[in-house]
Chains A and B, each alone.
Chain A
């Protein structure tokens, strides 16, 4: 009798792949977690010798002491959330009409308009921030919260326009036409018919813009330094001298991203996810 080794080989290979993938994906995350609770961790010990939650308590503002070089991140967190909320409101106010126009009208120079909204995905954005910094320095906006918000709106608007126009495109025009034919005005048809149908997509894109703003680093680094300390910038400035504190902030930054993204990933087109961070 000839034994068939193939299924066994395949299963073994699959299990090896599974274990390897777990190690590669969770390894760096574990490192972050271990550092966030490490009191003493002298190499070559594989694990911290003493565990402490002092950095967590300090970061979350539960305890106050000057001994461990960590500060409360509550102000930075509130600043980041505030910036993100304003960014969402303004980006969506700009993106919804634009996305609607791109989806529903045949526009002369339409290709040129699309081109403008695609460029930021096609080319590196850092030189943009450098020149925005120069512009903002002249205008007195460099190192200010409004300056940082303007940069975040730029990034939010690009995603916002693409997601909203895709959403509006997916709504059959017959719905709005039916409303118009029974006498509804164009705005009425939009607010009563199209907008409610588009709501899930618009909500998803708002959440997406919110997270993009919350996690944004490079633009804030160029335009906001040294006065605007958002959460990602606090993480950066502590990573050089306080590994534990930086790890705590990194883990805190993970929570909203993973949470919100799992909620909205079904509604999102895969391509947008890549623009994050």
Chain B
């Protein structure tokens, strides 16, 4: 390892990595670590700055439903993403023909579309008189007098899956591609059917990229503000992120906003721990 040093004006020797890292680390401490700690500490302070659980009492009083809603949206969509993305990624791995090539290109498209655009898209597509309802009515599947109401759990989930399944497929697909064909052939020649090959060989061998993609999907859903804000807004139940925005914009109530923030940290605690553990392990 290199041990080059730089000499400062005072003649002190400072390892050069410290000079290289300092600006970025100071920026992160001021703009990330400080606000992060502040969000936790301030959630335990009342308006006069003394310790109190007032913010939590108020949060549980007003927002228990929304916290439960956020948690259930997150869990539901992570599970759906897991099922759909694993099926698609496995399918792309075992069948490689023109259709899978078109499909895998198609599923890359939503990756690059920002959430604010996805939100606007879903806002017009899923509206009571939007394209989806009109199209379903043309097919005779629904009556336009009573259109599907989708500005709720269902529509939000459609939006999340539209964006997150392609992302999970991309990561999982990369992992599946790394598995050599010889493993599949060996299992098959030992008499395993395709189902066994998938559940006993492909999925276990790709466990880490499956888990990492789902962990990222999970924490992104908890933290996404745009989509629920533009789709559900202030209706009840809504997500924690929307409540935080309302607390800040309408009431300037940073205490409750921070308590809500701490609840969103709690929801991702396990996945964050897993993510940090794997990532720090990788770089060692």
CB distance from A214 to the nearest CB of B (A): 8
Q: How many residues of A contact B (CB 8 A)?
A: 92
Q: Mark A199-222, 1 if CB is under 8 A from B, else 0.
A: 000000000000000010110011
Say yes or no: A246 contacts B21, CB within 8 Å.
Answer: no
Q: Which residues of B contact A120 (CB under 8 A)?
A: 32
Q: Which candidate, A55-63, A65-73, A81-89, A149-157, is the interface stretch facing chain B?
A: A149-157
Q: Mark B74-116, 1 if CB is under 8 A from A, else 0.
A: 0000000000000000000001000110110011111111111
Say yes or no: A27 contacts B131, CB within 8 Å.
Answer: yes
Interface of B is mostly: helix
Say yes or no: B264 contacts A126, CB within 8 Å.
Answer: yes
Query: Which residue from chain A places its CB closest to the CB of B216 in the assembled complex?
Result: A274
Say yes or no: B103 contacts A17, CB within 8 Å.
Answer: yes
Query: Which residue from chain A places its CB closest to the CB of B219 in the assembled complex?
Result: A122
Q: Mark A119-143, 1 if CB is under 8 A from B, else 0.
A: 1111111111111111100000000
A172 contacts B by Cβ under 8 Å:
no
Say yes or no: A277 contacts B120, CB within 8 Å.
Answer: no
Q: Which residues of A contact B230 (CB under 8 A)?
A: 236, 239
Say yes or no: A118 contacts B275, CB within 8 Å.
Answer: yes
Q: How many residues of B contact A (CB 8 A)?
A: 94
Q: Which residues of B contact A114 (CB under 8 A)?
A: 279-280, 283
A116 contacts B by Cβ under 8 Å:
yes
Say yes or no: A98 contacts B258, CB within 8 Å.
Answer: no
B interface residues (Cβ-Cβ under 8 A, vs A): 1-2, 4, 15-17, 19-21, 23-25, 27-29, 31-36, 38-39, 42, 95, 99-100, 102-103, 106-118, 120-125, 129-132, 134-135, 137-138, 144, 162, 167, 170-171, 174, 212-213, 216-217, 219-220, 222-223, 225-226, 230, 241, 244-245, 248-249, 254, 257-258, 261-262, 264-265, 268, 271-272, 275-276, 279-280, 283-284
5 pairs, CB–CB < 8 Å, chain A vs chain B = A30-B131, A44-B129, A111-B280, A123-B219, A186-B16
